Amino acid sequence: MHDLVIVGCGPVGAVAANLAGEAGLSAVAVERAVEVFDLPRAIHFDAHIMRILQQAGVAAEVVADTRVWRRSTFYGADGQPIRVHDWSDEPTYGWDAHYLFYQPALEKILRTRLARHAGIELRLGTEVVDITQNEDHATVTTRDVATGRTEELSARYVVAADGASSFVRANSRIPLVDGDFDEPWLVIDLLCERQLGRPNESEMFCDPRRPATRVPGPGTHNRWEFMLLPGETAEQVQRPESIESLLRPWVRMDEVQILRASVYRFHALVAQRWRDGRLFLVGDAAHQTPPFLGQGMCHGIRDVQNLLWKIAAVLRGAPTDRLLDSYQAERRPHVARIIDMAVAAGRDICILDPATAAQRDARMRRAAATGDLPRTTFQGMPPLQGGLFDGAGELFPQPMVRTATGHECLLDDAIGSDLAVVAIPGALEHRPDLTVPVVRAGGEAGLVTVSGEIDKWLDERDATIAILRPDRYVHALTRDDQQAARSVRELCAVVGRG
């Protein structure tokens, strides 16, 4: 009996498998394709995702093959800026705020790194064709794509990371709720030795004659996306002469190698339920977003981090339902809210009527002047709400820390992935009975010594004590050591810790 079967080993399934390995679980990741999907889709992830990749033990390899993204300028119908996203003030959790990357390279690293975990098996060229659930396990039927041979796997839980047309979602008869957004865009990826535009900046052209965007990838990779106009077909815009004409303002065809030019429909869809007994939907199987905020894969990676520590706790004996139900309770509203932001951004970008575009440009410029621009994820992620939280829900910062032995490292590397309490000196002196590690911020006496960043963060929230979950979200914030002890006890009961 395995702890988990992970269906699909795209980026989300592969991060789930790495997190499962780090948590010491046994898992089989079943993937229909033999090779990593060779074309880039996602091109951006943010600092929180890098922090999760750090927890998954792959950040050092991943960061080596990225480009830091520093700014994004939006241009109006007149070709002049209407909004500049500059994220120098955004929380970075120990990393750069935003990264540009090449999805096939990320997926290869994630798969290769699985080999270090004896408990994780990757079965390529194998698809899941049936799942039945029993009282204490699920039976997953797989089929070898080459030979047709079938096999049954037993697992305590199933993580469905099988993408937008998820077999698992359909098998569990879980409908998708449609967010009423459906726009076709041509996505062109190419390699070019010449530096195009500023190296760490992207551009969004909100031109009603044809909305478009340009994003530099790592190395020589560059991406353009062009909206299809009414009456245009995918077949027409994918022709070489059409591609050449669209790219003419930036590059000559003799200096580029086109990797792909295909039309995608940008949707907004969220599965109605994310749990069916022992089975959990994650990633594109659970939601699809228009990519205007570059968050589709990021949502999926947040999903599996949220889910995996809870499954690990249940497998160690925690009571099941409250913990496992909190996955959907915490993640679904968060994803739905950010998809709404992406749809709102998309509706602004996809305006084709010149008069409406002029109104949008005037509105954006007014808002920029008064500091009243609509918030997007480029100003930081909203906190999680509901679920297990005791009144908090923000992600805790991740400064560099010095351990008791004088070693300097990022906070999560110093304190691992268990529950933790962070307190300023003196705040918890009367509670030596806490059963989780205590990090003393700013003092010399505790487990680690951390910079003033944490004191300031706590002070801004009128707190001296923060209770952290394994995913480094803040469960509770308080100044009261009795309340902290009570909140720790309650959290320990939910996650099955004595």
Name the residues that contact ligand FAD, by CB under 6 A.
7-13, 30-33, 37, 41-45, 127-128, 161-164, 167, 187, 264, 283-284, 291, 294-298, 300
3-class SS at 355?
helix
Burial zone of 57 (CB within 10 Å; 0-12 exposed, 13-18 middle, 19+ buried): middle
What's the CA gap between 357 and 362, in Å, rounded? 9
CB of 129 to ligand FAD, least distance (A): 7
Q: Which is nearer to ligand FAD, 5 or 82 (CB)?
A: 5
Q: Which is nearer to ligand FAD, 53 or 423 (CB)?
A: 53
Structure tokens at 436: 């989780």
What's the CA gap between 160 and 284, in Å, rounded? 10
CB of 102 to ligand FAD, least distance (A): 11
Burial zone of 191 (CB within 10 Å; 0-12 exposed, 13-18 middle, 19+ buried): middle
CB of 287 to ligand FAD, least distance (A): 8
Q: Which is nearer to ligand FAD, 298 or 488 (CB)?
A: 298
CB of 22 to ligand FAD, least distance (A): 18
Q: Which is nearer to ligand FAD, 75 or 264 (CB)?
A: 264
CB of 145 to ligand FAD, least distance (A): 9
Q: Which is nearer to ligand FAD, 133 or 320 (CB)?
A: 133
CB of 338 to ligand FAD, least distance (A): 11
Q: Which is nearer to ligand FAD, 24 or 37 (CB)?
A: 37
112, 55, 38, 111: CA torsion to nearest 10: 20
Q: Which is nearer to ligand FAD, 77 or 187 (CB)?
A: 187
CB of 297 to ligand FAD, least distance (A): 3
What's the CA gap between 474 and 467, in Å, rounded? 6
What's the CA gap between 144 and 127, in Å, rounded? 7
Structure tokens at 437: 């590690």
Q: Which is nearer to ligand FAD, 110 or 434 (CB)?
A: 110
Residue nearest to ligand FAD (CB): 10
DSSP 137-166: -EEEEEEETTT--EEEEEEEEEEE---TT-
As a 3-state breakdown, the chain gives helix, strand, coil percent values, each rounded to 5, of 35, 30, 40
What's the CA gap between 417 and 56, in Å, rounded? 10
Q: Which is nearer to ligand FAD, 9 or 458 (CB)?
A: 9
The helix or strand, by DSSP H or E, that contains position 309, with its residue range, turns out to be helix 296-315
What's the CA gap between 358 and 126, in Å, rounded? 52
| Cβ atoms of 42 and 66 closer than 8 Å | no
What b/e readout covers 140-171, taking b as 16+ CB neighbours within 10 angstroms?
A: bebbeeeeeeeeebebbbbbbbbbeebbbbeb
Q: Which is nearer to ligand FAD, 139 or 451 (CB)?
A: 139
CB of 75 to ligand FAD, least distance (A): 20
Structure tokens at 61: 């390899």
CB of 246 to ligand FAD, least distance (A): 15
CB of 465 to ligand FAD, least distance (A): 34
Residues 6+ apart with CB under 8 A from 481: 427, 428, 429, 430, 431, 465
